[in-house]
Amino acid sequence: MSQAVQVDIREVVLSNSSFGPNEINGVIRTINEEYSQFVVLRDAVQELELREEQTPASAVRLGVCYYLLGRYEMAANTLNRADGGALALFYQGRVSRAMDDIQGAIQFYQNAKDAGYDADVCALAIADCERQLGRSEEAMKRLDDLFGPIEQTAEYLYQRAVTVKAVRGAPTEVIALLERAVEADEHHAGALFGLARENDRHGNDESALSLYQRAVACFPAHIGSLLDLGLLYEDMGSYDRAVQCYKRILDVYPGHTRAKLFMRDAAASSADTMVDESTRRETEKLRQTLNIPVTDFELSVRSRNCLNSMGIRTLGDLTRTTEQELLQSKNFGETSLIEIREILAQKSLELGQFAHERQEPEPHYDIGNMSPDEKQLLDRPISELNLSVRARKCMARLGLTTIGELIRKTGDDLLECKNFGVTSLNEIRDRLTHHNLKLRGD
The neighbour count for residue 193, using CB atoms within 10 Å, is 28
Residue 31 shares a structural domain with residue 97 = yes
Q: Is residue 47 part of a domain?
A: yes
R_g over Cα of the chain: 32
Is residue 237, in this structure, part of any structural domain at all? Answer: no
Q: Rounded to an integer, what distance in angstroms lies between the CA atom of residue 356 and that of residue 273?
A: 27
Residue 70 falls within a domain, yes or no?
yes
Considering the domain architecture, whether residues 314 and 336 belong to the same structural domain is answered as yes
- Both 37 and 95 in a single domain? yes
- Single residue among 89, 117, 145 that ends a domain in this structure: 117
The reply to whether 322 and 379 lie within a common domain is no
**Are both 302 and 378 inside the same structural domain?**
no
Q: Which of 117, 134, 166 is the last residue of a domain?
A: 117
Give how far Cα 311 sits from Cα of 27, 51, 307, 318, 412, Å: 79, 86, 6, 10, 25
User: What is the Cα–Cα distance from 392 to 378, expressed in whole angstroms?
Assistant: 17
Residue 280: per-residue pLDDT: 57
Query: What CATH number should be reported for the domain holding residue 317?
Result: 1.10.150.20
Task: Based on the fold, state whether residues 46 and 21 are members of the same structural domain.
Answer: yes
Whether residue 391 lies inside any domain: the answer is yes
Q: Would you call 293 helix, strand, or coil by DSSP?
A: strand
Q: Which residues, including other chains, have CB under 8 Å from residue 51's CB and lie 6 or more apart?
A: 58
Find the CATH number of the domain harbouring 32. 1.25.40.10
pLDDT at 360: 42
Same domain, 349 and 390: no
Looking at the fold, whether 320 and 398 belong to one and the same domain comes out as no
Helix axis angle, 223-235 relative to 205-216, nearest 10°?
140
Question: What is the span of the domain harbouring residue 427?
Answer: 367-433
- 38 vs 34, 42, 44, 188, CA distance in Å? 8, 6, 10, 17
CA atoms of 201 and 197, how far apart (whole Å): 6
3 state SS of 314:
strand
Q: What is the pTM of this model?
A: 0.59
Domain boundary among 117, 143, 177: 117
Bond from prior residue into 220 cis (ω within 30 degrees of 0): yes
Domain identity same for 326 and 390: no
In a domain, 59, yes or no: yes
Indicate whether 37 belongs to any domain: yes
Q: How many Å apart are CA 59 and CA 80, to the nearest integer?
A: 9
Which residues are 402's β-sheet partners? 381
Q: Is residue 38 part of a domain?
A: yes
Contact 254, 263 (CB under 8 A): no
Q: In the prediction, which pLDDT does 3 show? A: 42
When divided into structural domains, the chain yields a total of 3
Look up residue 150 and give its DSSP letter.
Answer: G
If DSSP codes are grouped into helix, strand and coil, which group holds residue 416? Answer: coil
The verdict on 28 and 67 lying in the same domain is: yes
Q: What is the pLDDT along the chain (442 residues), one digit of tens a residue?
A: 344 457 899 999 998 888 999 999 999 989 888 888 888 999 999 999 888 677 888 899 999 999 998 888 999 999 998 888 999 999 999 999 988 899 999 999 999 999 999 999 999 999 999 999 999 999 999 999 999 999 999 999 999 999 999 998 888 999 999 999 999 999 898 999 999 888 887 778 888 889 988 888 888 777 888 888 888 888 788 888 888 888 888 877 777 888 888 888 888 776 655 544 555 567 677 778 888 888 888 888 888 888 887 888 888 888 888 888 887 776 777 888 888 888 888 888 888 887 765 544 444 455 555 667 666 778 788 878 888 777 877 787 777 778 888 888 888 878 877 667 788 888 889 888 888 888 887 7
Please check whether residues 383 and 338 belong to one and the same domain: no
- The reply to whether 355 and 408 lie within a common domain is no
Residue 1 included in any domain: yes
Asked if 340 and 323 count as a contact pair (C-beta separation under 8 A), the reply is no
